[in-house]
Structures are given as C-alpha cells and as structure tokens.
Amino acid sequence: MRTVVVIICGLLATTAASATELVHQFKNPAFSGQGWSSHALTIDSIEKARRDAIEADRKAAITKAEQDLLNTPLNRFMALFQSQVYAQLSTQLSNNLFRNQCANPDGTSIPGCTNPTTGTFLLDGNTVSWVKTATEVILTVTDAKGTITTIKVPIASFGF
C-alpha cells in the first residue's frame, strides 16, 4: 500500500503545473462600466413602475372618497327626489303640449277657446321654449353656455 501511495505522489509531482494570471473584475456595472446602460434602464423602469403604482393608488383613494360622499343617505334621497320631480315635469310638459286644451271631456269644442301654440319656461338655468304647429312640436333648449338643442316631435303620426 505504501508503494501505491509513493507511485501516485510521484505521478502528481511530475505533472506540469499550469496557471493563468489572476484578473480582478467588478460584478457591479457601477464600478466596471460594462452593462451600465441596461442597469440604469432597469433601475429607472422599476422606479417608474413604483411611482405609477403610487399615483394609481392615490387616484383610486380619491375616487372612492368621492363615491362614498355621493352615496350618503341624504345624497341618495336628493337624487331620487330630483329624478321624480323631473319625471313629473316631463309628464306635465308632454301632456300640455299634446293635449287639446279647448276640448270638453266629452270631446266637444269649447267656444271661443284657442290652444296655445308657443311657450317658454326656465328649468335649472336652461331656457326651454316650444312651438306647436299642426304637424309637429318643436322644443328648443338653450343651456347657460348658449348651446342650443332642438327636438322636433311629429304629432300627426301619433295615435294617442
């Protein structure tokens, strides 16, 4: 056994040793300069994604707070009440525009009565005017900014 160890040691001693020069290189691109641009872009991308996430969270919190404010019982009641008032106004307006005001309940005409053909009223800062002809009702709405919306409703084709 001793001879085997001596033979192995002899073989190892006769093998040529080889070595290369040791060169120190930094792994961090901030020190070496290699890959610096991709490193800087990666850092910038991470920072931007974080800023965007913080901004999105802030906007979501503001939106939720606004929605919570609008969803109070008082605000829900006021929205429902306003909707009901507008529905009643709409019904009264359409009844008055399309109804023959010079007719008795039995359908006979009232002598000396003439139906109105024009009118104007204010609603929430908007001016609403109407003109009734033999074939249509023209409704013109002018808002506070001066924008005009015109609606023409043919009355001869309806069979109420």
Judge contact between 141 and 149, C-beta under 8 A. yes
Q: Provide the 3-class DSSP secondary structure of residue 115.
A: coil
The per-residue pLDDT of the chain, averaged, comes to 82
Judge contact between 98 and 91, C-beta under 8 A. no
| pLDDT, position 64 | 93
Tokens 């529905």, residue located: 87
Give me Rg for the CA atoms of the chain: 44
What is the rounded CA–CA span in Å between residue 123 and residue 104? 30
State the pLDDT confidence band at 160, using cuts at 50, 70 and 90.
very low
Q: Which residues pair with 122 in a beta bridge?
A: 127
| pLDDT, position 155 | 76
Does pTM surpass 0.85? Answer: no
Residue type, 32: S
Q: What is the mean pLDDT of residues 36-58?
A: 91
In angstroms, the Cα distances linking 132 to 88, 96, 97, 101, 119 are 21, 11, 7, 13, 9
Q: What is the mean pLDDT of residues 112-117?
A: 78
